[in-house]
Amino acid sequence: MALVDAHTHLELLALKSIPFEKLSSVEELVSLLKGIGDEYILAWGWEEKRLGRAPTREDLDTIDRPVLLLRMDAHTGVANRRLIEEFGLDGNELLDSEKGFLYEGFLWSVVDRMKPKGESMREALRRAVFTARGFGIEEVHDYVDEELAELYLSLEEELPLRVVLMPYHEHYRGVVDLLKERLSLGWVKVFVDGSVSARTAYLKEPYEDRKDSRGLLLRSAEELTSMLK
């Protein structure tokens, strides 16, 4: 029986440039970041339970380069003031400029501006695929846009496992035309809300620890009906 991961974001694994799992405090994280000499820092994988609390803009403001760190669920990220100013992010409703938190689609619009491109991203994705295979996974279902689908196609002859592409709804038509023998098309991804752990999942009642928030509803009923049609 094949081991299948039916909800995968290997692009996130490709962005895993910091060993968050080895860090036990925000102070350790900041110390590590100060030793990174890159022009800007983009990384994925922090989680507040392991670090003791969530890192904030104030913590990252001690770094003299733009920094964006994605939470493990990738529905929330935290940026420093340097990044917020250089990327002109102030004023968006999905930015908490005081704490530096970015949410959902707005977060990913910034990630898309920062993430590696071309051969650098191709190599990072290749490593991520082989990492997944090293855990015994034989098939992954991954969420893609045209750019990520193209990278998978360029790796077709090297893939050590099967890949099922699941396009985000706005990229569906573009991805359909890119299918090949080892890559097949799965279902369509539509973001309606976020995740419970990031407190962006949309609930009927307010969160116990955030009485003023029920989360984020990203699509109206009318929008969903239009998409399905």
Q: Answer yes or no: is pLDDT of 178 > 80.
A: no
For residue 17, name the pLDDT band (cuts at 50, 70, 90).
confident
What CATH number should be reported for the domain whose range is 14-114? 3.10.310.70
Question: In the chain, which residue ranges form alpha helices assigned H by DSSP?
Answer: 10-14, 26-34, 48-51, 57-60, 81-86, 104-114, 118-134, 146-154, 172-176, 221-228
Could you read off the pLDDT of 44-61 as tens digits, one per residue?
A: 999 999 999 999 999 999
For the chain, the average pLDDT equals 92
Phi-psi region of 5 (alpha: psi -120 to 50; beta: other; left: phi over 0): beta
Q: Model-level pTM?
A: 0.76
Could you read off the pLDDT of 120-132 as tens digits, one per residue?
A: 999 999 999 999 9
pLDDT of amino acid 45: 95
Q: Answer yes or no: is pLDDT of 99 > 90.
A: yes
pLDDT of amino acid 130: 96
pLDDT of amino acid 180: 61
**Percent of the chain surpassing pLDDT 70:** 97
Instruction: Report the first-to-last Cα separation within the chain, whole angstroms.
Output: 37
pLDDT of amino acid 229: 74
Q: Which of 99-103, 185-189, 215-219 has the highest mean pLDDT?
A: 99-103
Tokens 């196609």, residue? Answer: 153
pLDDT of amino acid 181: 56
Token representation of residue 154: 């360029």
